[in-house]
Each structure stands twice: as C-alpha cells, then as structure tokens.
C-alpha cells in the first residue's frame, strides 16, 4: 500500500502542480472591465467617430476668446470682479500656475486636443475599413488633420513672437501621441510648413471623399478653407489669403446677415453667419465667461474704448454685443443671452464676416489699385450690412484702408478671440483708454515687451527638458 500510494501520489501531485502553474500564467492575463483598454477603444468607424467627437469636445475656443480680450483693449475690469483674471489684465503674468493660469491655458487646451487627435489618427492606421467606409474615414481623417493644424496654429499665435519667417522659436509640432514626449520647439517656418502639410493632406482627403453637405459643427472643405485663409494672412501670404477667403465666400453656404438674423447668431437662435461652432449643450462655459449666470457680477465690462467706437444709433452690432444692467453698468451681451436658456451658448469659432475682413486685408496688402478696390468693396459691403443708412466710403490709399480694416475687425469681432492677435501681428502695442484702467501701469503693453509672447506653462519647461521657455519667463 505504501508503495502504490507513493507511486501514485507523487506523479499526480507534480502533474497537478504543473497544471496549476501553467494555467497561472494565463490567470494573470486580466483586463479592465470598467474602462476601455487601448485595443478595444477604437475598433471600427463608429469608435473613430466617437474619438473624433472627443477631439471636438476638447477644442476649447473659450480661452482663446478670454485671452484675446483680457490681453487687449476689448475689456476693462467689471464692477463685480473679485480678482478674476487680474494677473492677466494687468500684464503681471508669469509661467507659474498662479499668475499664469489664464495665459498658459490655451497651450494646455490645444495640446490636449492635439493629443486626442493623434490618438485617433494612430488608431485609424490600425483598423481595416471596408470599401464603403473609406469615404467617411477620409472625411474623419481630414477633420482630425485640420484640427491638429488649427490647434498648433493657435499655440503659435500666442506662444511665439509675431510672425517672422526667420524666427527660430516656433512651437512643438506633435505628429503622434507620446506620453513621455520631450519634443523641442520647431522654427516658425517649420511649424508653418507642418501646418500647411496637415491642411494639404486634409484637403486631399476631402477631395477624395467627394461632395458633402455643409455643417458648421464639423470641419469640412469650406471652413478648412477659412482656417487656411487665417494662416495665409498670418504668414503674409496675401494671395492665398485672398484665394481661401474667396473660396469660402464663393462656397455660398453662409452670407452676411442683417437685422434679427444677425442678432439671432448670438443667442444661438440662428446660425446665419457661422462657419464653425464648438457646441455646448448644457454648460454655460461661454455664457459665464464675462458675467455670472445671474448677471449679478460683471467680471469684465466692455471697454469704453470699444463702446465709444460704435455708431450706437445705427450700428446693429452695438445693441447685439452690449447691454446695461439695472445699475447702468454695461455688460457684454454677445454670448450671454441664450435662446436655450441658462446662458448656454456655443463658441463661434468662425463667421463669414471674418472672411470678408481677411480678404479685404489681404487685398489691401497686395496694394494694386484693383486689389485696393476689391478690399474697399468688401469692407463697405460688411459695413452696409451692419450700419443702417451706411453709404460707401472711399479710402485714400493702402494704409488708410488697412487701418480701417483693423478698426472694423475691432468692431466686428470683439470677444471672438482675435483682438490681441490682431494687435500683435500688426506689430502694434496694446493701448487702453485711460478710463479703462485703474492704474497707468497696465494701460499699455508695448509691442516690444516680452509679455507680447505668452509663457509656456512652468510645468512644461520643468517636465520637457528639450523645450525652451520664451524670453523673460522662468523655466523651473
């Protein structure tokens, strides 16, 4: 009995041990059930679409609007301000998280969106799509590439010096998602090359995918041309700025609005002029940017400089963009009233009016007589839509016309995310009116001041050893 037990038991024991141990290796292959692992996250077209939706959700235009207003002459400190945005408005910002929270936000927002884009683009490469899906895949890729280019462009505008083809410090260009990336900054011309490369690829993909109906909530060939016009204008490529802005206008999906249909743009009751919107379904992110939801506290008021620039009797923009409360304090009404209630409004990233202004500016820069005439026509057309009883104005030469166009941008596009950049790219200084500031210390920001270029977040220069901080700001 002893022997049989021994003979039997040992083999059985070691066999079962072996069995247990080999199966144990498998036992360790567990996967999360409550979150989606990388392989499962993107498996088909539907997932890719969801990832792309995520990229739109991360495209935060809000801080672009906020910074362009606070850093310029569009606003002054409101009566209900308890310190909001004061470091920014007073030009006292640095790279640290306390004083630089506002000014570093667009950098963080845009690279977060770019990372999402790169994750989805990376996933697309790993999925085999059917023939029927290919057009839709191409459209999605085109959207993502456009978002990537636009994201980098927004960073370039704020975090690099005013455009100069020879400027060495552009921005880091991310072409793939890499958690531990130590990406150096490209030169400005290289950054712009990469932006154009993404635009070209997007355009080719849209062309390959064939015709599509226009929607102002996604990237499509029309607003892609609009973004290209912006970039062309930025890099003094006047011919292309005229071409792309002209393409958008010629596409005829939106036209300059008047009367109630213009007013309806700002309450989301209508979308007469919008070419691209970031939607908010239930959060008052945009509606609360300048004033609390109840209207009780005005953080930032429209500047007197701006208010007094309008013909408030005849210019429809005045009472569309501004209003005053029970105390007689003016507040920014653009993006405040909502047809949906609760200050829930969309961010208007691009409107047709801007395209007219881009084309006018680029034509004015070209400066031939024919071009100047085209520029004057565009400007007069826009004004005629805005100002009751407007009669076309003649312009004496290029400089006067350029000044008029810049001023018109001031009147047409306030709080939409352009003003600081308009000042900067024209090599001007920020000049506020005396009664728009409580101290002369922050009345002007000279064009030569280092704060014209915003700081990279401190945590970026701390974590990314290969990047370079902008002049004047701390690195670590």
Partner 1 sequence: MGTIVFCATSFGQSRTVEGRVIDESGAPVPGSSVRSATGNYGTAADFNGNFTIVVSTDVKKLLISAVGFLSEEIIIPASNRVTVVLKLSGTEMEQVVVTGYSKLRRSEFAGTSTKVLSDKIEHVPMGSFDQILQGRIPGMTVLSTSGQPGSEASITIRGVSSISSSSDPLFVIDGVPVESGIFQAINPNDIASVDVLRDAVATALYGSRGAAGVIVVTTKRGTGGKAKLTYNGQFGTTFRPKSGYDMMDAQELLLAQEAYGKMLPGTTADQLPGWFLSKNHPSYATSSPEVQARKDFLYDSLLNNNTNWDEMIFRDGSFRNHEISLSGGSGKTRFYSSLGYYNEEGIIHRSDMKRFSFRNNIDYNDDRLSFALSSLIGYTKRNFQETDESAVLGNPFLDVRITPSYISPYNPDGSFAVGNPAYYAAPNQLDFMTYNKVYNDQVKVLLGTNVLYNLTPEIYAGAQAGVDFRETQNTVFWPAESWYARSSSNVRVKSGGLSEGLTRRLGLNGRVFAGYKKKFGAHDLDLSVHGELNKRFQKSFGFTGYGLDPKTPNTPAAITPGDASNQLYVSTTGSKSSNALSSLFGIGKYSFRDKYSFNLSYRYDGSSSLPEKNRFQSFYAIGAGWDLLKEGFMPKPNWLDMLRLRASYGESANANNFSIGNFGYLSTYRQGTYSGLTTIIPNTPGNADANWEYTAVSNIGLDFALLKNRLYGDFNIYDKRTKGLYVEQQLSVIGGGAFESIESNAGRMRNRGVELSLNAVPVKTADLSWSLYFNGAINNNKVTDLGGVQSYEYGTSLVTVGLPLGSHWENGWAGVDAATGKPLYYTKDGKITDQAHVDDRVQTWGTSEPKYTGGFGSDLRYKGLSVSAFFTFIAETYKYNNLEYFMENTGFLSQGFNQAKNFKFWQKPGDQVNYQNPAYENVFSSKYIQDASFLRLRNIMVAYDLPSSWLEKTRVFSALRIYVTGQNLLCWTNWKGYDPEESSNYSLDSYPSSRVFTAGLSVTF
Residue of 463, 471, 472, 474 that binds partner 1 (CB under 8 A): 463
C-alpha pair distances (Å), 287 with each of 62, 252, 298, 330, 342? 10, 29, 12, 16, 8
Is residue 87 close enough to count as binding partner 1 by CB under 8 A?
Answer: no
Question: For the residues of 350-374, what is the DSSP string, one character each?
Answer: EEHHHHHHHHHHHHHHH--HHHHHH
Question: CA–CA separation, 476 vs 459, rounded Å?
Answer: 8
* Interacting span for partner 1 (CB under 8 A) from 26-34, 61-69, 157-165, 188-196: 26-34
E strand or H helix at 430? strand 430-431
Binding of residue 83 to partner 1 (CB under 8 A): no
Q: Are 271 and 214 in contact (CB under 8 A)?
A: no
Decide if residue 112 touches partner 1 (CB under 8 A): yes
Cα–Cα dist 322/312, whole Å: 10
Q: Which pair of tokens denotes residue 378?
A: 């565009």
Q: CB–CB of 420/126 below 8 Å?
A: no
How big is the chain, counted in residues?
A: 476
Binding mask 36-65 for partner 1 (x = CB under 8 A): xxx--xx----x--xx-xx-xxx-------
CA neighbor of 109 nearest in space, from 64, 60, 75: 60
Of 309, 221, 254, 286, give the one whose Cα is nearest residue 416.
286
Question: Does position 126 bind partner 1 by CB under 8 A?
Answer: no
Cα separation of 93 and 100, whole Å? Answer: 5
Q: Per rule CB under 8 A, is residue 125 in the interface with partner 1? A: no
Q: How many chain residues bind partner 1 (CB under 8 A)?
A: 63
In the complex with partner 1, the residue whose CB is nearer, 5 or 370, is 5
Pick the stretch among 222-230, 252-260, 428-436, 459-467 that binds partner 1 (CB under 8 A).
459-467
Taking Cα atoms as reference points, which of 47, 65, 177 lies closest to residue 112?
177
Task: Give the integer Cα–Cα distance in Å for 84 and 297.
Answer: 11
Candidates 92, 134, 279, 397; binder of partner 1 (CB under 8 A) is 279
27 binds partner 1 (CB under 8 A): yes
Please, which residue, 28 or 296, has the CB nearer to partner 1?
28
Per CB under 8 A, 5 contacts partner 1: yes
State yes or no: residue 280 binds partner 1 (CB under 8 A). Answer: yes
Segment interacting with partner 1, rule: CB under 8 A, options 158-166, 201-209, 274-282, 430-438:
274-282
What six digits make up the tokens of 146? 């456009």
Nearest to partner 1 of 14, 308 (CB atom): 14
14: contact with partner 1 by CB under 8 A: yes
Cα-to-chain-centroid distance, residue 373: 32
30 binds partner 1 (CB under 8 A): yes
Among the residue ranges 1-9, 331-339, 347-355, 418-426, the one whose residues contact partner 1 (CB under 8 A): 1-9
Q: Per-residue contact track with partner 1, 353 to 392, x per CB under 8 A? A: ----------------------------------------
- Contact with partner 1 (CB under 8 A): which of 61, 87, 107, 321? 107
CB 194 → partner 1: shortest distance, Å? 14
Instruction: Tell which positions 150-209 bind partner 1, by CB under 8 A.
Output: 172, 174, 177-183
Direct distance between the N- and C-terminal alpha carbons of the chain, in angstroms, rounded to an integer: 78
Phi, psi of 285 (to 5 degrees): -55, -45
Q: Which residues contact 90 (CB under 8 A, 6 or more apart)?
A: 439, 441, 442
Q: Which residue ranges make up the site for partner 1 (CB under 8 A)?
A: 2, 5-6, 9-10, 13-14, 16-17, 20-21, 24-25, 27-38, 41-42, 47, 50-51, 53-54, 56-58, 107-108, 111-112, 114-116, 119, 172, 174, 177-183, 217, 279-281, 457, 459-460, 462-464, 467
């Amino acid at each position: 009995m002893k022997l049989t037990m021994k003979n039997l038991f040992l083999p059985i024991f070691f066999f079962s041990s072996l069995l247990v141990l080999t199966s144990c290796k498998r036992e360790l292959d567990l996967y999360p059930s409550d979150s989606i692992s990388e392989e499962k996250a993107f498996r088909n077209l539907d997932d890719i679409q969801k990832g792309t939706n995520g990229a739109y959700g991360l495209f935060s235009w809000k801080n672009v609007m906020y910074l362009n207003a606070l850093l310029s002459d569009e606003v002054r400190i409101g009566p209900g301000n308890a310190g909001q945005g004061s470091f920014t408005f007073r030009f006292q910002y640095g790279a640290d998280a306390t004083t630089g929270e506002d000014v570093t936000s667009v950098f963080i927002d845009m690279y977060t969106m770019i990372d999402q884009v790169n994750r989805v683009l990376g996933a697309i490469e790993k999925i085999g799509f059917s023939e029927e899906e290919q057009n839709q895949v191409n459209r999605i890729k085109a959207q993502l590439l456009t978002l990537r280019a636009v994201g980098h462009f927004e960073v370039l505008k704020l975090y690099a010096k005013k455009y100069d083809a020879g400027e060495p410090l552009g921005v880091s260009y991310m072409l793939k998602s890499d958690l531990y990336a130590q990406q150096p900054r490209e030169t400005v011309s290289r950054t712009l090359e990469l932006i154009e490369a993404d635009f070209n690829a997007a355009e080719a993909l849209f062309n390959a995918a064939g015709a599509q109906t226009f929607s102002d909530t996604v990237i499509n060939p029309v607003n892609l041309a609009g973004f290209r016009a912006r970039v062309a204008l930025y890099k003094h490529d006047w011919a292309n700025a005229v071409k792309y802005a002209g393409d958008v206008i010629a596409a005829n999906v939106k036209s300059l609005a008047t009367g109630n249909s213009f007013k309806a743009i700002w309450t989301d009751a209508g979308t007469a002029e919008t070419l691209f919107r970031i939607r908010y379904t239930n959060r008052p992110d945009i509606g609360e940017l300048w004033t609390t939801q109840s209207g009780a506290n005005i953080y930032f008021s429209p500047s007197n400089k701006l208010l007094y620039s309008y013909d408030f009797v005849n210019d429809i923009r005045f009472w569309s963009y501004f209003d005053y409360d029970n105390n007689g304090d003016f507040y920014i009404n653009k993006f405040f009233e909502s047809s949906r209630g609760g200050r829930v409004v969309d961010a208007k990233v691009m409107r047709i009016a801007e395209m007219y202004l881009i084309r006018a500016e680029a034509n004015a820069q070209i400066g031939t007589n024919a071009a100047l005439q085209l520029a004057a026509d565009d400007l007069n057309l826009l004004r005629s839509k805005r100002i009751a009883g407007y009669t076309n104005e003649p312009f004496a030469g290029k400089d006067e016309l350029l000044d008029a166009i810049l001023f018109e941008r001031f009147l047409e596009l306030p709080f939409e995310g352009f003003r600081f950049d308009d000042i900067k790219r024209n090599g001007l200084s920020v000049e506020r009116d005396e009664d728009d500031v409580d101290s002369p210390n922050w009345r002007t920001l000279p064009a030569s001041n280092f704060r014209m270029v915003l700081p990279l977040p401190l945590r970026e220069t701390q974590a990314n050893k290969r990047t370079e901080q902008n002049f004047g700001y701390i690195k670590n």
